[in-house]
């Protein structure tokens, strides 16, 4: 049951990420920053894509993805269509990985230590959805404040 709930939540929230990026009226606003808004929506989107492709794709799905976290925050002006394509690909990858898990997998130790100590895979997948939602909220505010 928890795996199906995770699939539903990740699908919902990655669909919302795609919708947020699509909702910018001015495509260049995706990359705007302001005095107290240091990360653009585009960079937050790239960060989420990199994060999920690393921890779902590379670690659980063995996709071979190699992360360059620095580029997630330094790349600029990637076309909206390319961002959306990356979000959709990430959504498909996450769903594919989740569809291959069984409940016992969630009780196993996550393959790498990400924080200070080990954790179960289930705990980390819940953490990753909260991370996605945190930045999704930032992107929503970014759009409403800077898409002018």
The pLDDT confidence band at residue 69, using thresholds 50, 70 and 90, is very high
Please tell me the pTM assigned to this model: 0.97
| Percent of the chain scoring above 90 in pLDDT | 98
Q: What class does CATH assign to 1-146?
A: mainly alpha
pLDDT (mean) for 73-80: 97
What is the rounded average pLDDT of the residues 77-100? 98
Does residue 6 register a pLDDT over 90?
Answer: yes
Q: Which residues contact 52 (CB under 8 A, 6 or more apart)?
A: 90, 93, 94, 128, 132
pLDDT at 125 over 90: yes
What's residue 101's pLDDT? Answer: 98
* CA-based end-to-end distance of the chain: 43
- Whether residue 100 has pLDDT greater than 90: yes
Give the dihedral of Cα atoms 129, 139, 84, 127; nearest 10 deg: -10
How high does pLDDT run on average in the chain? 97
Specify the pLDDT at position 96: 98
Q: Is the pLDDT of residue 148 over 90?
A: no
At 102, the pLDDT band (50, 70, 90 cuts) reads very high
**54 vs 57: CA distance, rounded Å:** 5
CA 85/CA 107 separation, integer angstroms: 32
Residue spans per domain, the chain: 1-146
The residue-averaged pLDDT of 69-89 equals 98
């Amino acid at each position: 049951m928890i795996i199906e709930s995770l699939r539903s939540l990740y699908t919902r929230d990655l669909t919302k990420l795609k919708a947020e990026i699509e909702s910018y009226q001015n495509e260049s606003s995706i990359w705007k920053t302001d005095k107290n808004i240091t990360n653009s929506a585009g960079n937050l989107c790239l960060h989420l894509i990199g994060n999920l492709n690393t921890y779902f794709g590379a670690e659980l799905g063995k996709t071979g993805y190699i992360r360059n976290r620095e580029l997630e925050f330094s790349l600029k002006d990637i076309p909206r269509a390319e961002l959306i394509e990356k979000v959709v690909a990430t959504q498909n990858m996450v769903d594919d990985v989740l569809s291959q898990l069984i409940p016992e997998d969630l009780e196993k130790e996550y393959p790498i230590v990400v924080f200070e100590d080990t954790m179960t895979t289930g705990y980390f997948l819940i953490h990753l959805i909260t991370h996605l939602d945190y930045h999704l909220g930032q992107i929503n505010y970014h759009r409403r404040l800077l898409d002018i």
